[in-house]
Structure formats: structure tokens, C-alpha cells
Amino acid sequence: MRRILVTGGAGFIGSNFVRYQLERYPDVHIVVFDKLTYAGNRANLVDLDSSRYTFVLGDIADRPALETALDGCDALVNFAADTHVDRSIMGASEFIATNVTGVYTIAECVRALGIPRAVLVSTDEVYGSIDAGAFRETDPVAPRNPYAASKASGDLMALAHHATFGTPLIITRGSNTYGPYQHPEKVLPLFVTNALEGKPLPLYRGGEHNVRDWLHVRDHGAAIDCVLRKGTPGEIYNIAAGNERENLELTRKILELTGKDESLIQPVPDRPGHDRRYAVDASKLRSLGWVPEVPWDDGIAATVAWYCEHETWWRPLKSGEFVEYYRRQYRVQP
């Protein structure tokens, strides 16, 4: 596998995946294809050897542009998506355009060009909330917010494309991911950077109700790489490392690591349709040989340290459009 098209490669998980590929495989050339929405950022790729990757500005729902970029590639990995639940609650048309129409366009291009395999990165949120136990790949989807519904729709289209045409598409469903280069709209970088700025941490419903299972971005990238090389087309693979934390516990950890006290915690009204707990069983993926390698205590400490050391990266992302978004979402200035 020498030339890989990474759609959405300028975002959080995509850029970390590109870094992982270039570090691990000396003969791989990556083509990053990205629309550079507010969440896409060329700065996520600046430390990489520019002779080892090509950047193409484009929309995955634009078939001619995608076909041109994909021509001559051995594989495609799709990270391109609109990804923030709270923004999807404000309006979901972009989510449908990228996460459904875009995924359909990818399937059509992969089929038309005879690309040997494509991995479509999806999320554990498609299964909906679960009070106890963990979802398996055979469980039905039951999304409960517009973002999750758009991702589930993309997954269903991909599975149907495989069943109908034999298109070699593989789906991954990862859990909540953390690490460097995550946009500060998401809870972990938002809370770390707010804490560093001495600003309140807006915790939905006080944080004692909701649980997420945290996966380090490097482990997520390694899992996608494992599926890319060993996965079976038409199959789904869950990804999780078993680091369940209540949001309040996560928040306290962030405050401890940034040296701030709990007076910064600001309980705010709940997100509508807020899923209580996500949990997936990753034993199918583990049977391919993947094991998570980043222990939670090390991963969270290193991640908080990274945001502390990279204010020049996150500061610009908390200005401009973000100020308006923050005011609408939290009814206060960021």
C-alpha cells in the first residue's frame, strides 16, 4: 500500500493518522483531501515532511474533484465529517451534505475507480446510549442526535453499497477520542484551554450523569491502520480502550493537571437529547491483533501538557466564528 487518500486529513484524528502513517511506513505517500471547514487546519500538518504528502483542497461530496484525487491511490481512509453534536443541534444540513452525501460519493468513486479498499471512519454514537454493558457490531443503530443520525445514515449507505455492488468498504466505530490537535469546541480541549484562561468550564447537568469511554488518538489511528490492512470489506469494527469516565471526573482531572480549583466548574443546562453513556465491545478488532497502548493516566497528562505548550495553536481557533458559536451555545462570551 503506497499511496493513500486521506479525506478529512487536516482535522483532529485525520492529521494524527497521517503522522502515524508517515512515521510507521517509510514508503507510503499520503494525499490529504480536505475542505478546510472551521475544523480543518493546515497547522495540524506543519511538522510533517512535505515531500511525503500532498494537500488537495476539496469536498468529498464533489465527485469529479474526489475522483481526480483518488485516481492512482491504493486505498482511501475517510475522516471527513461534520463532527460536533452541539452544532448539529443548531442545524444539521452541513452534516447531511458531508456525512451522508459525501460518504455516498466516496462509495461511488471507490467503485468507479476500482480502488481495492476504503475505510470509513464512523463513531460509537450511532448505536445510541446504553446504561450497562457494551454494543457489538451486530447491534442495530439507534442514533439520538442529528450528528449521530447523519453518521448512522452514512454507515447504512456504505453497507448497502457493499451488499449491492461489492464495493470494498470497511466501517470503524471509535469511541470518544482525545489527544493533540483537537478543535477546542470539544469538551477536553475546551475545558483545558478555558482553565488555562481562568474561564468557567460549562459542564452540562453538572457532569455527574454522563459517561464517555476515552480513546487516545494514537490508539485510534493504530486501530484504523489495523483495519485498513487486515479488515474484511463489508464489516464493521468497534474501537474502544475501556477508559470510562464520568464527565465530572474528567473535569476534575483537567483542573488538577492545570493547577486550577473546582470553583471554575460551571453547571449549565443539559444538551437536548444528551446520551448518558456510550460503550462498545472492541473484541472483534482485538482479534485482528490491535491492542491500545496509551494508559489513561499517561495519555491525559501528556494531552493536557500539549495544550499548555501549544497556545499558539489553539488561541486562533477560539476567535472569529468561534466567539459567535460560543455565545449562541453557552449564552456567554468565550
Q: Which residues bind ligand TYD (CB under 6 A)?
A: 85, 125, 176, 186-187, 190, 202-204, 207, 210, 212, 247, 271
CA–CA gap between residue 142 and residue 154 (Å, rounded): 13
Q: What are phi and psi of 222, to 5 degrees?
A: -65, -35
Query: What are the CA-CA distances from residue 281 to residues 125, 147, 163 (Å)?
Result: 13, 22, 24
Nearer to ligand TYD, 230 or 271 (CB): 271
Q: Does 21 bind ligand NAD (CB under 6 A)?
A: no
Grid cell at residue 19: 503522522
Give 251-284 as a DSSP string. Answer: HHHHHHHHT--GGGEEEEPPPTT--SB--B--HH
Nearer to ligand NAD, 90 or 332 (CB): 90
Q: Using CB distances below 5 to 8 A depending on partner kind, what does residue 21 bind out of ligand TYD, ligand NAD, none?
A: none
Q: Write out the catalytic residue numbers.
A: 124-125, 147
Q: Are strands 29-34 and 3-7 parallel, antiparallel or unpaired?
A: parallel
Q: Using CB distances below 5 to 8 A depending on partner kind, what does residue 314 bind out of ligand NAD, ligand TYD, none?
A: none
Q: Does 35 bind ligand NAD (CB under 6 A)?
A: yes
Residue listed under C-alpha cell 469494527 = 237
Nearer to ligand TYD, 76 or 241 (CB): 241
Beta carbons within 10 angstroms of residue 63's beta carbon = 15
Residue selected from 28, 81, 119, 157 as contacting ligand NAD according to rule CB under 6 A = 81
Smallest CA-to-CA distance from 204 within 268, 252, 266, 263 is with: 268
Residue selected from 5, 6, 21, 34 as contacting ligand NAD according to rule CB under 6 A = 34
Q: Using CB distances below 5 to 8 A depending on partner kind, what does residue 253 bind out of ligand TYD, ligand NAD, none?
A: none
- Provide the binding-site residues for ligand NAD, judged by CB under 6 A: 7-8, 10-14, 34-37, 39-40, 59-61, 79-83, 98, 102, 121, 123, 151, 174, 176-177, 183
